[in-house]
Chains A and B, each alone.
Chain A
Amino acid sequence: MNISATVSELHTELVNVDRKRLRFRVDRRAYTDDEVFRRERDIIFNKCWLYLGHASEIPAAGDFLTRTVGGYDLIFSRDTAGDIHAYFNACSHRGSTVCRERSGRARVFTCPYHGWVYDLAGRLRDQGAKSGYPANFNADGAYDLRRVPRLEAYRDLYFVNYNPRAIGLAEYLAGAADYLDLVADQAESGMEIIAGGVSLEASGNWKLLMENSYDAYHGPSLHSTYFEFLDQRVASSNMAGTQSGFGCGLGMGHGVFELNLRSGRPIAQWIPPFGEDAKPKIEAIKRRLVEKFGRERADRMAERQRNLIIFPNLVVNDNLGISVRTVFPKSPSRMTVDIWVMGPKGEDPMFRKLRLDNYLTFVGPTGFATPDDIEAFDLCQRGSVHSPHAWSDISKGMSEDEDLLHARADFMDEAQMRGWWAQWDRLIGGAETLEAAAPGDAR
């Protein structure tokens, strides 16, 4: 398939904008085509910053975890000096997987095949052989575990990039950084990933989940049973009829919607179902937020909810609790999803329970809503395969002169998705490389 530049404003033939008729459309082959899948691997997942993990998951020296990010098996570790590393989980000798555990604490990793031993900083310590190698065999470090080309962190969130020439993480995050601050600032003691994350594999192209993650429009129809449940639970908190908010692109393909839903938040919005005991504690948290960040920002942190996407594949839902998800394509029609829940370190057990309850009833694969999203991905994928020459429409709330990467509209609209697709189009079409200009390059 030809996915080279054909349209003046856009850079692939798979994304189509018609400003006069206020139509923004995506060719369904973008969800089904093998060539697109390969291009995404080569370009999207090899050039973008990808979320690896949170510092709290490896809190102590010797802690490690293994994770597949963008198709590569990685080890995320903290060495004896406390420094954090990410390297490929493949032995420098013959390529065997070195670490087979999902997480743990260790002094060294020993490859099961010939017994090569690496420390937690990835340095080769021993080849398990008394003879056959010169004494200076690894003097240049060539046989250490191969480091991921780039590893950078923002507010304890660690990201990798497989392109050594990539722009820095801070520049990449663009307008999304402020939304990560709104999450990280909720805890004076820092945030932590709560034990019990879940991984799943589902039917459907990975981009369906990205669209879904900040799509408020589907809520009333697909999740009617969830909202009926919620209405029953928080009937007294006057949820209905008061919602307002916006959705927007944040640059670089990132996007968010934000609204004022009174569904209750451990930080820091009390509703009657939380119980009278919780009320003074939540009010105290709110007071501290006001002292620290001012009334306006504290209100925004406590009273408003956000679904944020960091391009290409990180979801941070700052709503009833805080959940973090990544999604990767396994094939054009299968995705893998990792889900974690985050909360303040040392959180009051009462609030920790509320937070987990909030999560459990909605966004988990066993909740009252997510299984229906997973059903919708399957339905969309089937339709896309059966009608490959059709377009998917992402026009809701479009304005004639909007800047696609920063489009802004009502939270029930689709502006944030247009920002995502505009960046996808720029990358796949070759108009954006996400590389820092080399000295002397004209940019």
Chain B
Amino acid sequence: MSDAGLRASVEDFLYREAELLDRWRLNEWVELFTPDGYYLVAPLGLDDPRNADPQSMLFLVADDRTRIGQRATRLLKKGAHAEYPHSRTRHTVSNVMIEDHDGDTVRAAANFITWRARNREVVSYMGRTYYTLATAADDFHIREKRVCLDLELLAPQGSLAIIL
């Protein structure tokens, strides 16, 4: 596949992921991950969040596949008060770059802005996400999704209850 063709396929995949999140189809979103997949949100304010180690630093999110599922399960319950009623979100993905790829792995990066509207307030989260994708049978699965926010603190957002 040409680089442009690969990028188009990855973009399609990322747009599909964004749509699942915006439509609150979180259980389907969980299925995008490999069994050894990770969803990470790096600490704020680091010079090099991309290489930060979640085993020795306090991340905002460091979910293995089991906890990714538990996060989705929780968010879909009425008892997840921060997201009940659900917020309206819009995950916008751009500046997609293929960083490298070999037989069954693609490394890609994308800018994002995610808007969240709830309780008469609108907040946004922005940054760059680094994906390690496993390729199989013309499709991708996420081995690692590492979100690096361009924020120094969670103000005015207050928390990060949604999935980025």
- State the A residues within 8 Å of B (CB): 102, 194-203, 222, 224-226, 228-229, 232, 336, 341, 349, 352-353, 356-357, 359-361, 364-366, 368, 370-372, 374-376, 378
Asked if B56 lies at the interface with its beta carbon under 8 angstroms from chain A, I say yes
Asked whether A200 and B155 contact (CB < 8 A) given A225-B74, A371-B160, A375-B82, the answer is: yes
CB nearest to B45 among chain A residues: A102
- State the B residues within 8 Å of A (CB): 41, 43-45, 52, 54-62, 67, 70-71, 73-74, 77, 79-83, 119, 152-161
CB nearest to B119 among chain A residues: A378
Asked whether A366 and B55 contact (CB < 8 A) given A199-B155, A372-B82, the answer is: no
Tell me which of B44, B45, B62, B160 contacts A356 (CB under 8 A): B62
A374 touches B159 (CB 8 A): yes
B82 touches A374 (CB 8 A): yes
Asked whether A365 and B58 contact (CB < 8 A) given A225-B74, A371-B161, A376-B81, the answer is: no
CB nearest to A353 among chain B residues: B55
CB distance from B76 to the nearest CB of A (A): 10
Tell me which of A195, A202, A352, A359 contacts B158 (CB under 8 A): A202
Residues in B with CB closer than 8 Å to A336 are 155
19 sampled A-B residue pairs with Cβ under 8 A: A102-B152, A195-B57, A196-B59, A197-B43, A198-B154, A225-B77, A226-B74, A229-B74, A341-B58, A356-B55, A361-B67, A365-B158, A368-B70, A368-B71, A370-B159, A371-B82, A371-B83, A371-B159, A375-B81
A441 to B154, CA, bound (A): 48
Asked whether A366 and B156 contact (CB < 8 A) given A198-B60, A356-B54, A357-B62, the answer is: no
Asked whether A201 and B60 contact (CB < 8 A) given A225-B77, A371-B82, the answer is: no
**Residue among B71, B77, B155, B158 with most chain A CB within 10 A:** B158
**Residue among A336, A349, A357 with most chain B CB within 10 A:** A357
A375 to B43, CA, bound (A): 22
A360 to B38, CA, bound (A): 14
Other than A200-B158, A375-B82, give 15 A-B pairs with Cβ distance below 8 A. Answer: A195-B56, A196-B43, A196-B59, A197-B43, A198-B44, A202-B158, A341-B58, A360-B62, A365-B60, A365-B154, A365-B158, A371-B82, A371-B83, A374-B158, A374-B159
A352 to B58, CA, bound (A): 10
CB distance from B87 to the nearest CB of A (A): 11
Interface SS of chain A:
helix
Asked whether A224 and B79 contact (CB < 8 A) given A356-B62, A374-B158, the answer is: yes
B79 touches A225 (CB 8 A): yes
Residues in B with CB closer than 8 Å to A357 are 62
A120 to B57, CA, bound (A): 27
B58 touches A201 (CB 8 A): no
Asked whether A198 and B58 contact (CB < 8 A) given A365-B160, A366-B161, the answer is: yes
B153 touches A359 (CB 8 A): no
Asked whether A372 and B158 contact (CB < 8 A) given A352-B55, A360-B62, the answer is: no
A336 to B57, CA, bound (A): 22
Residues in B with CB closer than 8 Å to A203 are 158
A195 touches B43 (CB 8 A): yes
A202 touches B58 (CB 8 A): no
B159 touches A200 (CB 8 A): yes
A197 to B41, CA, bound (A): 13
CB distance from A253 to the nearest CB of B (A): 26
Asked whether A366 and B160 contact (CB < 8 A) given A224-B79, A225-B74, A374-B82, the answer is: yes
CB distance from A332 to the nearest CB of B (A): 16
Residues in B with CB closer than 8 Å to A222 are 81
CB nearest to B54 among chain A residues: A356
A368 to B59, CA, bound (A): 14
Q: Which 9 residue pairs across A and B have the least CB separation, nearest first?
A: A196-B58, A201-B155, A371-B82, A200-B154, A196-B43, A199-B153, A202-B158, A371-B161, A365-B159
A356 to B80, CA, bound (A): 22
Residues in B with CB closer than 8 Å to A359 are 58
